[in-house]
Amino acid sequence: MTQEQTIGGHGAAVWVAVKQKLKDYLQLVKLSLSIMVVFSSVVSYELAPNIVSLNWKMVLLLALGGILVTGSANAINQVVEKDTDAKMKRTANRPVASGRMSESEAWVFAFLAGVLGIGILQFFFSWQAAALSGLSLFLYAFIYTPLKKVNSSAVLVGAFPGALPCLIGWAAAFDTGPLFNWTGGLILFGIQFLWQFPHFWAIAWLAHGDYSRAGFKLLPSDKGPTRFSAVQAVIYALAQFPVGVLPYAVHMSGIVSLGIVALANVFLLVQCIRLLREMSAKAARRVMFSSYIYLPVVFLALLFDKVHQVVS
């Protein structure tokens, strides 16, 4: 083998290792989940009344801060749950659970990402946004994560950090001053808070076998996917109707988004009712996919209405 071939082979091996490491870090931060979190935070930021134009620099900084904080929380989650992740098919290939990444490496990443993300929100936005992001990280990583093996109330606890990105985005739009008003942020928080229950319970319904083997208690009923769990999904879907009217009631949005939000609520409720009637994995899968559609439709409808009002 020539020297050139040796160097070329070494270079290829290095490139493969770099790609695998990058892939591992993307898995560590749960990129798709982080993007969803950033989406709701950015939309909430843009819905604030004092934001009247799109500033790409601020949007990208908010997104970067959000991804870093969320990635930190997800990294801690994977370190704490590495043994249980190894028992489940859907998570066994995660970097810490599979042994490709050490716990210490994941902890260092989590610390640096968390500090940097909170720092970005503090320096470029507001102390309220930074404080809320720190609270969200703490609740998710150190309260919700260990509670999952204790009691199904973990889902309720986890819904708070799951909805806090809306408040973080809203708070990021304000300096401390007379214009700061929590009303709009709390409404958006409420929409995302309630959305999580049918969304997550549909996932837990489908993955109940895996979750049970790992010791997680995530459905409302200790007996697993039961009618009681389906009833709970219906109740939370119904609760979205009055909350969905609030953006219009406080003049955050107009009549167009009110109609779209109402239709989205009907759509999600129908799928939850079908789950209650059919009690099947197929029906749970419909709820899951419907919930994935629901949130971006609702948030983009509210944002479109605001943009329309500003332009006109």
Q: What is the mean pLDDT of the chain?
A: 88
Domain boundary at 174, 196, 222, which? Answer: 174
Q: What range defines the domain where residue 281 resides?
A: 182-312
Asked whether the predicted pLDDT for residue 217 surpasses 80, the reply is no
Q: Are residues 23 and 156 in the same domain?
A: yes
Can you state the percent helix, strand and coil of the chain, rounding each to 5? 80, 0, 20
Domain boundary at 174, 196, 226, which? Answer: 174
Separation in Å, CA 258 to CA 40, 215, 222, 299: 18, 42, 38, 11
Q: Are residues 118 and 190 in the same domain?
A: no
Q: Are residues 160 and 238 in the same domain?
A: no
Give me the residue label for tokens 């003049």: 251
Backbone angles phi, psi at 85, to 5 degrees: -60, -40
Closest-CA residue to 111 (of 142, 75, 140, 77): 75
Q: Are residues 124 and 254 in the same domain?
A: no
Q: Are residues 87 and 195 in the same domain?
A: no
Q: What is the pLDDT of residue 6?
A: 54
- Residue 12 amino acid letter: A
Could you give the number of structural domains in the chain?
A: 2
Confirm if 143 and 77 have CB atoms less than 8 A apart: no
Domain boundary at 149, 174, 199, which? Answer: 174
Q: Are residues 136 and 210 in the same domain?
A: no
Q: Are residues 263 and 209 in the same domain?
A: yes
Q: Are residues 169 and 189 in the same domain?
A: no
Dig out the tokens for 98 from the structure: 């599979």
Coil, strand or helix: which one is 90?
A: coil
Asked whether the predicted pLDDT for residue 218 surpasses 80, the reply is no
Dig out the tokens for 127 from the structure: 């102390």
Q: Are residues 211 and 72 in the same domain?
A: no
Cα(128)–Cα(121) distance, integer angstroms: 9
Predicted confidence band at 9 (pLDDT cuts at 50, 70, 90)?
low
Q: Which residues of 184-218 are buried (b: 16+ CB within 10 A; e: fewer)?
A: bbebbbbbbbbbbbbbbbbbbbbbbebbeebebbb
Q: What is the pLDDT of residue 310?
A: 67
Cα(128)–Cα(185) distance, integer angstroms: 12
Q: Are residues 16 and 156 in the same domain?
A: yes
Q: Are residues 154 and 8 in the same domain?
A: yes
CATH of the domain at 109: 1.10.357.140
Average of per-residue pLDDT across 257-283: 95
Helix boundaries (H) for 81-149: 82-85, 95-98, 103-124, 127-138, 145-147
> pLDDT tens across 223-264, in order?
778 898 899 999 999 999 999 999 999 988 889 999 999 999
Q: Are residues 60 and 165 in the same domain?
A: yes
Asked whether the predicted pLDDT for residue 175 surpasses 60, the reply is yes
Give percent of the chain with pLDDT exceeding 90: 58
Q: What is the pTM of this model?
A: 0.90
